[in-house]
């Protein structure tokens, strides 16, 4: 079955190049009317360009429909205005891909807190701003598909990217609450962790063949599926070079310690049992942690143990 975005309106932030451009072009090719948002900046968030206009021209030249938007995701009012313009022009907003981001890489010991806060503001608060701007409209429509952009750095760590990693894991956490709050209004929320060669990674000196294999076009299939009508919800999907995989936040059964063993020494002694992965689960809500605690207590006689 062909996945179509006919009669859908999509917003893609950071769509002037790289991943965002690839998403916007493919959405338009499949029938969506696309808001191409881009501040038009270098990888560190400085400078300005007409990148969004060029992507709009590409879409229109191919017979698609698009408008550019130069608003900053860090400015909530600008995101509200962007959503209002899309609704005025095309009647609604059905898809949001939060893709905009910057890098300010340094080891934590050398990092200025201004650079930590700025990266978190663009990635995490920026995605929250844009999502909040479209949230009530999606609830009214009883339809919405939202994609957050995480990273292997946020999920698994990477030296020199404490600011970026904190923001990216935060986005995965944002997804996990919004999917619950949006469920009754048919709003599905997912997270993608791309592996791609873009302007964010262009100065890393990777071999030409690797650069081509990691093209944004090889990530776009996963992104578009995750914002399609039949998309799942609350998934973390990795994509790069045509390979696709899922990541999960899991919880071991653990154990409950008797009163006389509830000491740091008791935890140390039970460590292998605490981290044993037999019976591990993938919780769908935070409340499931409490259920695991109660199950562990039940094995030693309940709350009075």
Residues acting as catalytic residues: 164
Beta carbons of 19 and 196 less than 8 angstroms apart? yes
Cα distances (Å, whole numbers) of residue 186 to 154, 189, 231, 232? 27, 10, 11, 11
Tokens at 246, concatenated: 């899922």
In which region does residue 252 sit, left (phi positive, over 0), alpha (psi from -120 to 50) or beta (all else)? beta
């Amino acid at each position: 079955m062909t996945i179509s975005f006919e009669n859908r309106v999509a917003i893609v932030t950071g769509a002037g190049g790289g991943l965002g451009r690839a998403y916007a072009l493919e959405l338009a090719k499949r029938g969506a009317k696309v808001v191409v948002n881009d501040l038009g900046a270098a990888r560190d968030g400085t400078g300005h360009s007409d990148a969004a206009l060029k992507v709009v021209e590409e879409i229109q030249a191919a017979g698609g429909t698009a408008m550019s938007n130069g608003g900053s995701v860090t400015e909530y009012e600008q995101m509200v205005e962007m959503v209002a313009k899309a609704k005025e022009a095309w009647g609604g907003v059905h898809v949001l891909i939060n893709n905009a981001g910057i890098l300010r890489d340094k080891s934590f010991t050398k990092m200025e807190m201004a650079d930590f806060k700025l990266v978190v503001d663009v990635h995490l608060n920026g995605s929250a701003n844009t999502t909040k701007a479209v949230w009530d409209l999606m609830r009214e429509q009883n339809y919405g598909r939202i994609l957050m952009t995480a990273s292997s750095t946020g999920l698994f760590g990477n030296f020199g990217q404490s600011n970026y990693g904190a923001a990216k894991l935060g986005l995965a956490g944002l997804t996990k609450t919004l999917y619950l709050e949006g469920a009754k209004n048919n709003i599905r929320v997912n997270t993608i962790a791309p592996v791609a060669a873009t302007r964010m990674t262009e100065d890393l000196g990777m071999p030409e063949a690797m650069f081509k294999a990691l093209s944004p076009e090889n990530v776009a299939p996963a992104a578009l599926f995750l914002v399609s009508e039949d998309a799942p919800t609350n998934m973390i999907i990795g994509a790069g070079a045509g390979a696709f995989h899922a990541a999960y936040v899991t919880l071991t059964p653990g154990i409950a310690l008797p009163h006389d063993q509830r000491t740091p020494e008791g935890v140390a002694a039970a460590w292998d049992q605490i981290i044993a992965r037999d019976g591990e689960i993938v919780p769908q809500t935070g409340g499931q942690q409490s259920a695991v605690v109660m199950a562990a207590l039940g094995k030693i006689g309940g709350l009075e143990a």
